[in-house]
Amino acid sequence: MTDELRRLAGAAWAFRARVEREASSRFVRLAAAIPAFDPASPVTDLLRRAADDEDRHATLCAELATAYGCQTGGTAVDVPIAPRSFAARDAVLYEIVAACCITETESVATLATLLTGTAEPRVRMVVHEIARDEVVHGRMGWAHLAREAAVRDVAFLAAWVPSMLEGGLDGAIFAAGERDAAPDDLLRHGVLPRSRKREIFVGTLEEVVFPGLEKLGVAAAPARAWLAERLARRSSPGAGCFGN
Amino acid sequence: MLFRKLFRLLVLGGVMVGSATGCGSAAQGQAADDKKPDSRDGGSPDDGGSAKAQDSDAGTAADAGGGVVGW
């Protein structure tokens, strides 16, 4: 294993440890908010359990990062992401759609892809354990959106999905001219090459997230336009890397 | 194939979970009545300002709303 590969793998797993810790804090906060307007919702308990899952995932990811020589640590920062002007119920819906319907759904696709490859045994074990839980985490987002759509108009979300996508974007996957060295080696250590990551990101949006939103009363046209613009920017001359 | 499976597993599976318990209860319906779309003060990115994403460096939610970074 080269030093560069070790560095990339370590950084990826350290980043995931942070993402998982932040998810845990977010799920605890959202679980506390739902009973105020939907006391019978099964999503509340699912969120509480998901928070515990994310803590466990964070530990697994941090252990792998350490094994690759990367230090992890720091405090998870739980930042509410809904527009400040939103009322509490709308803010919860916004955040659950962003965190679960989009991000957790994308994570399941990424994990499923990693599981189809030949990974190092320890990496495979961690990816498998996390994937099992992330399916539930993605599903609880769609469950909450379905419950809300059953009792009120959720169409207002359509205009906000581009903000959710932009805010959660790994800009590197749309960077022009990118090339990963040794993509097969990256996969073995649980890191998707950028071209594969982009393929998964776009496919998941087009075939899972957008149809799911439309099924539940949230028009996907603004989000489709956002994606088309991102893809066009990538293929046009002068396109560069944008980060988040 | 993967995506079709994910749609069934996550979206349709989620809809089933969501409808399993107390969906559309009186309390939930009342709360919904209290918050009609046209009374929403959140507006849309078009009338609320620039549709830029959350400024992760600042660590605060922007008026335009943000997203969640994942794997």
Cβ of B10 and A170 within 8 Å? no
Query: What mean pLDDT is reported for chain A?
Result: 92
Is A168 a domain residue?
yes
Mutant choice from B10, B30, B55, B57 vs A, greatest count of A C-beta within 10 A: B10
Number of domains into which chain A is organized = 1
**Within a domain: residue A241?**
no
The 10 Å Cβ neighbour count of residue B29 is: 13
**Is A229 among the domain residues?**
yes
Q: For residue range A36-66, list pLDDT tens digits in order.
A: 999 999 999 999 999 999 999 999 999 999 9
Higher pLDDT pick, B26 / A123? A123
Q: Check residue A178 and give its pLDDT.
A: 61
Residue A233 pLDDT class (50, 70, 90 cuts): confident
Domain CATH for A204: 1.20.1260.10
Whole-Å CA distances, A217 to A148, A202, A214, B1: 10, 21, 5, 25
A95 part of a folded domain: yes
Mean pLDDT of A76-86: 92
Question: Residue A244 pLDDT more than 50?
Answer: no
Is the pLDDT assigned to residue B47 strictly greater than 90? Answer: no
Q: Among A112-121, A129-138, A215-224, which stretch is predicted with the lowest mean pLDDT? A: A112-121
**Is residue B48's pLDDT more than 90?**
no
Facing B25 at nearest CB: one of A40, A84, A163: A40
Please give the radius of gyration of chain A, using alpha carbons only, rounded to the nearest integer. Answer: 18
Contact between A145 and A161 under an 8 Å Cβ cutoff? The reply is no
Residue A127: its chain B contacts at CB < 8 A?
none
Higher pLDDT, B2 or B22: B2
Q: Is the pLDDT of residue A241 over 70?
A: no
Residue A84 has pLDDT above 50, yes or no: yes
Residue A37 lies in a domain: yes
Which one has a higher pLDDT value, B54 or B21?
A: B21
Q: Which domain holds residue A71?
A: 3-235
Taking CA atoms, A57 is separated from A18, A130, A133, A217, in Å, by 10, 6, 9, 33
For residue A242, tell me if it sits in a domain: no
For A241, the token pair is 């890397």
More confident site: A234 or A163:
A163
Which among A38, A87, A216 has the least Cβ separation from residue B28? A38
The distance of A228 to chain B (nearest Cα, Å) reads: 16
Kindly indicate the confidence band of residue A117, based on its pLDDT and cuts at 50, 70 and 90: confident
- pLDDT of residue B6 exceeding 80, the answer is yes
Kindly report the nearest CA distance between residue A232 and chain B, in angstroms.
19
Selecting from B36, B60, B70 the residue whose C-beta is nearest the C-beta of A168 gives: B70
Tell me if A158 is assigned to some domain. yes
- The model's confidence at residue A137, banded by pLDDT at 50, 70 and 90, is very high
Would an 8 Å CB–CB cutoff place A34 in contact with chain B?
A: no
**Cβ-nearest to B63 among A84, A165, A212:** A84
Q: What does DSSP assign to residue A238?
A: T
For residue A244, the chain B residue with the least C-alpha distance is: B56
pLDDT cut 90: percent of chain A above it: 80
Q: Is residue A142 part of a domain?
A: yes
Rounded to whole angstroms, the Cα distance separating A65 from A61 reads 6
Q: What is the interface size between A and B, counted as CB pairs within 8 Å?
A: 229
Q: How near does any CA of chain B get to the CA of A143, in Å?
A: 4
pLDDT in tens, A147-166: 999 999 999 999 999 999 99
Q: Is the pLDDT of residue B52 over 90?
A: no
Residue A242 has pLDDT above 60, yes or no: no
Closest CA–CA distance from residue B44 to any residue of chain A (Å) = 6
What tokens appear for A165 in the block? 């996508």
ipTM for the predicted complex comes to: 0.91
The pLDDT of residue B58 is: 40
The confidence score (pLDDT) of residue B43 equals 47
> Which of B11, B12, B50, B52 is most worth mutating to test chain A (most A CB atoms within 10 A of its CB)?
B11
Q: Touching check for A94 and chain B: CB below 8 Å?
A: yes
Tell me the pLDDT band of A170, cut-offs 50, 70 and 90.
confident
Per-residue burial over A97-117, b if 16 or more Cβ lie within 10 Å, else e, is: bbbbbbbbbbbbbbbbbbeeb
The alpha-carbon gap from B30 to the nearest alpha carbon of chain A, in Å, equals: 9
Q: Whole-model pTM?
A: 0.85
